[in-house]
Amino acid sequence: MEQQLQEFRERIRAATASQGGLQIRGSGTKHWYGQTPQGELLDTRGYAGIVDYEPTELVITARCGTLLADIDAALAANNQMLAFEPPRFGGQATVGGMVAAGLSGPGRQFCGALRDFVLGADLLDAQGQELHFGGQVMKNVAGYDVSRLLAGSLGTLGLILQVSLKVLPQPFAVSTRVFEVDHANAIRLLNEWGGQPLPLSASTWTAGVLTIRLSGAQAAVDAAEKKLGGAELTNGADFWRDLREQEHAFFTQDGPPLWRLSVPSVAAPLALPGAQLIEWGGAQRWYRGDAEVAAIRAAAQVVGGHASLYRGGDKQVGVFAPLAPAVAKIHRRLKTSFDPSGIFNPGRMYPDL
């Protein structure tokens, strides 16, 4: 591993010297996400392996090139899991790519996002120096929380070498229920249920069908089933895996580009022509349709959210919503101080970052 680390350092120093960009990549399962990757490929898969896993400490530490399939196998052997349910993209997704992309799955609304589970991270900076932030403990307020800042940074601040993540036990009981309701009522129900002490762990609605997952103590799941009604979905585990992997029919069909709109959970149905799929209790709305980019962005913004061009479409329009000027100023300053030569994933998040 030391040899691989040395190779990373040399690549970084060479890139700094030549002012050339590095395109950091694990298995490339999310190469389509963000702005188009630029620069020479830096493959992280050689730096792999679980460094430390203590089930009773609820923490796993792994190198960036570790496959999520390997993480899943280690956790499952101890009845534990990544509760934010990141997409595995066939198990090939790596730890580094998962953290850099910052994507969370169905469990996000009730358990928290990927960034909520990041406890520590090691970074190779623009000088090739190894920096350690956070740690392997749950509570840690020493220094700024740089490790959480790396979650979703798309590799623009440095090479994420190693990450410590909080893990959780798998629930004792799980049940999936389906309800036939329209768009507006699905949003209303999800928010009403969210305000009650129910063991909701995931939810989604599309095409007139609301599907929810209940997880927890057997008694809690039984009581919630009785209270909420609906019909049982017997192959629930497959359903939620397909949704997490974006292999659900909504995602796999051919058609217009896929947008992700992150909005307040209570936002009324978005008046956009095309198909929508709701997740996260109403807070994540997937949209496939031919509306104008400006109309899509406005639909999210007017309710206090933002829209990203998730997959497909013309990246020239800007994949991510533009930043407010004061926020953009802080972004530029962070980027120039962490990566003065602009070598790390140049332009992957915004063209000028």
Query: Distance (Å, rounded) from C-alpha 344 to C-alpha 125?
Result: 9
Strands 173-180, 306-311: pairing kind: unpaired
Give dist(CA 255, CA 251) in Å, integer. 10
Q: Give how far the C-alpha of residue 93 lies from the chain's centroid of Cα atoms, to the nearest Å.
A: 12
Segment near other proteins (CB under 8 A); pick from 12-20, 90-98, 245-253, 305-313: 305-313
Q: Does 326 bind other proteins (CB under 8 A)?
A: yes
Judged by CB under 8 A, the stretch of 37-45, 230-238, 239-247, 276-284 that binds other proteins is: 276-284
Radius of gyration of the chain (CA): 21
Tell whether residue 334 is a contact of other proteins (CB under 8 A): yes
Q: From residue 141 to residue 160, what is the string marking binding to other proteins with x (rule CB under 8 A)? A: xxxxxx-xx-xxx--xx---
34-63 residues in contact with other proteins (CB under 8 A) are: 54-59
Nearer to other proteins, 59 or 67 (CB): 59
Nearest CA to 290 out of 266, 263, 257 is that of: 257
- Give the residue from 106, 290, 104, 282 showing the smallest Cα distance to 205: 282
Supply the minimum distance, in Å, between the C-beta of residue 152 and other proteins. Answer: 6
Candidates 23-31, 232-240, 270-278, 317-325 — which segment interacts with other proteins by CB under 8 A? 317-325
CB nearer to other proteins: pick between 67 and 243: 243
Name the β-bridge partners of 143.
none
Count of residues that bind other proteins according to CB under 8 A: 89
The answer to the question of residue 268 lying near other proteins (CB under 8 A) is no
Residue with Cβ nearer other proteins (67 or 163)? 163
| Binding residues for other proteins restricted to 172-211, rule: CB under 8 A | 172, 191-192, 194-199
Q: Which two tokens stand for residue 11?
A: 């690549």
- 235 lies in the site for other proteins, by CB under 8 A: no
Nearest C-alpha neighbor of 85 from the set 105, 115, 112: 105
**If binding is defined by CB under 8 A, does position 219 make contact with other proteins?**
yes
User: By CB under 8 A, is residue 351 in contact with other proteins?
Assistant: no
φ, ψ dihedrals at 192, nearest 5°: -65, -45
Task: Using the minimum distance from each CB to other proteins, give the nearer residue, 119 or 291.
Answer: 119
Cβ closer to other proteins: 67 or 309? 309
Q: Does 170 help bind other proteins (rule: CB under 8 A)?
A: yes
Query: Which residue lies nearer to other proteins by CB, 7 or 54?
Result: 54
Q: Which of residues 97-116 bind other proteins (CB under 8 A)?
A: 102, 108-109, 112-113, 115-116
Q: Which two tokens stand for residue 50?
A: 């679980």
Identify the residue among 138, 207, 209, 317 touching other proteins (CB under 8 A): 138
Q: List the structure tokens of 196.
A: 């009650």
For the beta carbon of residue 43, count every other beta carbon within 10 angstroms.
14
Q: Is residue 305 involved in binding other proteins (CB under 8 A)?
A: yes
Give the DSSP letter string of 240-272: HHHHHTT-SHHHHS-SSPEEEEE--TTPPPP--
- The helix or strand, by DSSP H or E, that contains position 150, with its residue range, turns out to be helix 146-150
294 belongs to the binding site for other proteins (CB under 8 A): no
CA distances from 132 to 58, 98, 123, 124, 146 (A): 20, 19, 6, 9, 9
Binding residue for other proteins (CB under 8 A) from 31, 333, 351, 352? 333
